[in-house]
């Protein structure tokens, strides 16, 4: 099923679509039979969970499960953006130096690393248990849409 077909079918059912994309397998870079659809909060947007058929296919619509932790930039070790979009000066997550981590010439382990964002010692900038790592509380109105599989596939 193509993304424009899905958008057209949802718009015919009076839903306002913000963006849509097909989810890919991370390692193999192949498209999966899952789509991520951003439905705007207009009109009957809550009724989309009652939809059982889309483009003559049986579908299951579930809310998007967002990560509870913020993304970390591997260029500056800041939050809520990635290195691809970063305009800040680089910071090393191991030694807190003014260079990227991959340019670090010292290969031995650091006994007492200093975390860039909280100032604590003893853990790196990417440690998930740090108190400075913000948690995300807001839930997005994105949906995962996947064609329902037949009973034989579900039993496997």
Tell me the per-residue pLDDT of 31-47, one tens digit each, with 9 for 90 and over.
998 888 888 888 888 88
Is the CB of residue 81 less than 8 Å from the CB of residue 96? Answer: no
Q: What is the mean pLDDT of the chain?
A: 76
- Same domain flag for 41 and 70: no
Mean pLDDT value of segment 95-108: 71
Domain count, the chain: 2
Mean pLDDT value of segment 10-27: 88
Tell me, what DSSP letter sits at residue 142?
Answer: E
Of the three residues 37, 58, 79, the one that is the final residue of a domain is 58
- Same domain flag for 75 and 111: yes
In a domain, 151, yes or no: no
Of 53-57, 62-66, 84-88, 105-109, which gets the smallest average pLDDT? Answer: 105-109
Calculate the alpha carbon distances from 82 to 15, 71, 102, 135, 154 in Å: 31, 7, 16, 17, 36
- Choice between 33 and 133, residue whose per-residue pLDDT is larger: 33
- Same domain flag for 42 and 96: no
CA distance 149 to 156: 11
Paired with 60 in beta bridges are 146
CA distance 135 to 70: 6
What is the side-by-side strand order in the sheet with 53-54? 17-24, 31-39, 142-147, 57-63, 53-54
- Same domain flag for 70 and 53: no
- Same domain flag for 29 and 75: no
- Choice between 81 and 18, residue whose per-residue pLDDT is larger: 18
- Same domain flag for 130 and 79: yes
- Same domain flag for 74 and 99: yes
Paired with 58 in beta bridges are 53
Q: If pLDDT is split at 50, 70 and 90, which confidence band does 72 have?
A: confident
CA distance 145 to 60: 6
CA distance 100 to 109: 16
Question: Could you tell me the residue range of the domain that residue 81 belongs to?
Answer: 66-137
In a domain, 146, yes or no: no
- Same domain flag for 30 and 78: no
Tell me, what DSSP letter sits at residue 121?
Answer: B
pLDDT at residue 80, rounded to an integer: 79
Mean pLDDT value of segment 88-101: 76
- Same domain flag for 53 and 77: no
pTM of the model: 0.48
pLDDT at residue 106, rounded to an integer: 62
pLDDT at residue 145, rounded to an integer: 63
In a domain, 144, yes or no: no
In a domain, 106, yes or no: yes
């Amino acid at each position: 099923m193509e993304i424009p077909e899905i958008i057209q079918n949802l718009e015919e059912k009076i839903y306002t679509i913000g963006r849509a994309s097909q989810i890919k397998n991370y390692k193999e870079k192949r498209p999966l039979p899952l789509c991520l659809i951003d439905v705007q909060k207009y009109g009957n947007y809550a009724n989309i969970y009652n939809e059982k058929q889309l483009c003559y296919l049986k579908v299951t619509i579930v809310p998007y499960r967002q990560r509870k932790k913020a993304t970390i930039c591997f260029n500056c070790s800041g939050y809520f953006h990635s290195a691809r979009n970063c305009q800040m000066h680089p910071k090393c997550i191991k030694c807190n130096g003014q260079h990227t981590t991959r340019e670090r010439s010292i290969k031995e382990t650091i006994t007492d690393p200093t975390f860039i964002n909280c100032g604590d010692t003893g853990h790196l900038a990417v440690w998930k248990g740090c108190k400075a790592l913000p948690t995300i509380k807001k839930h997005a109105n994105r949906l995962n849409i996947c064609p329902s599989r037949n009973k034989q596939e579900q039993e496997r």
